């Protein structure tokens, strides 16, 4: 990658994040999916579980890494099964979009002691998004706690999101683990329907309240 000579000067950001999310605009809001399917590793082989899911994705203020300008969403995923009240899977992070280059990123934080940064490229009108992370990579990589590193080594993560014409979207996630020396494909899929529109990002809210205050 070519780094510009000036790594400090920032671009002018727009306060309205929702207007600059490119392909991520279609992910903004609160979502529910009732027909998730998970394949996870168990002592006697793969276990298949049905799950239901709620995802909240809210716009954040624009972020600058020097000249690199990013717009994004902060997300939280909460998954349950019909059989148990305890969370089956919990995950939080950010979806980020760099309009200048078409870079998309998803950060993952999973409370089993695991974190990842997955990356990909997309156009603003993309109907499919793919992000990937690999263990050992220092850019789009995966970090796990020592126990997971030895017992359930996570070698790769790939997420494919498909946007549908009716405003819903679906995903398939492929996480390759090494369990007792053998590869195990930990797979998840679901279809999400919007149940609430996103809020405004904090900077835009402030701007609008200041403009309202000045007018009154």
Q: What whole-number distance in Å separates Cα of residue 142 and Cα of residue 154?
A: 7
Q: What whole-number distance in Å separates Cα of residue 32 and Cα of residue 72?
A: 20
Question: What CA dihedral angle connects 12, 17, 22 and 23, to 10 degrees?
Answer: 150
| Residue choice 52, 88, 140, 203 for contact with ligand HEM (CB under 6 A) | 88
Bridge partners (DSSP) of residue 32 are: 54, 193
Are 74 and 85 a contacting pair, CB within 8 Å? no
Which residues in 162-201 contact ligand HEM (CB under 6 A)? Answer: 173, 175, 177, 186, 188
Q: What whole-number distance in Å separates Cα of residue 164 and Cα of residue 31?
A: 14
Does position 31 bind ligand HEM by CB under 6 A?
A: no
Per-residue x/- mask for ligand HEM, residues 44 to 63, rule CB under 6 A? -------x------------
| Residue choice 154, 161, 192, 204 for contact with ligand HEM (CB under 6 A) | 154
The one segment of 4-12, 61-69, 111-119, 123-131 that binds ligand HEM by CB under 6 A: 111-119
Smaller CB distance to ligand HEM: residue 173 or 201? 173
CB of 46 to ligand HEM, least distance (A): 10
Tokens encoding 13: 């950001």
Are 22 and 164 a contacting pair, CB within 8 Å? no
Which sign, positive or negative, has the C-alpha torsion 16, 19, 25, 28? positive
Smaller CB distance to ligand HEM: residue 20 or 186? 186
Q: Interface residues with ligand HEM (CB under 6 A)?
A: 38, 40-41, 51, 79, 88-89, 108, 110, 112, 114, 116, 148, 152, 154, 157, 173, 175, 177, 186, 188
């Amino acid at each position: 990658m070519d780094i510009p000579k000036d790594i400090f000067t920032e671009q002018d950001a727009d306060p309205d994040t929702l207007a600059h999310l490119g392909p991520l605009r279609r992910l903004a809001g609160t979502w529910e999916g009732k027909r998730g399917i998970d394949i996870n590793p168990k002592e006697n082989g793969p276990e298949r579980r049905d799950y239901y899911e709620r995802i909240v994705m809210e716009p954040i203020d624009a972020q600058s890494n020097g000249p690199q300008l990013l717009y994004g969403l902060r997300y939280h995923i909460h998954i349950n099964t019909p059989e148990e009240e305890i969370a089956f899977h919990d995950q939080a992070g950010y979806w980020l979009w760099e309009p200048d280059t078409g870079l998309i990123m998803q950060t993952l934080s999973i409370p089993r002691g695991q974190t990842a940064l997955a990356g990909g490229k997309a156009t603003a009108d993309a109907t499919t998004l793919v992000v990937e992370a690999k263990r050992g990579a220092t850019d789009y990589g995966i970090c796990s706690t020592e126990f997971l590193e030895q017992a359930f080594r996570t070698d790769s993560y790939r997420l494919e999101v498909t946007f549908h014409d009716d405003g819903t979207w679906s995903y398939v996630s492929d996480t390759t683990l090494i369990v007792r020396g053998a590869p195990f494909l930990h797979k998840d899929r679901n279809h999400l329907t919007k149940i609430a529109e996103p809020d405004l990002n904090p900077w835009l809210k402030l701007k609008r309240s200041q403009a309202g205050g000045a007018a009154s």
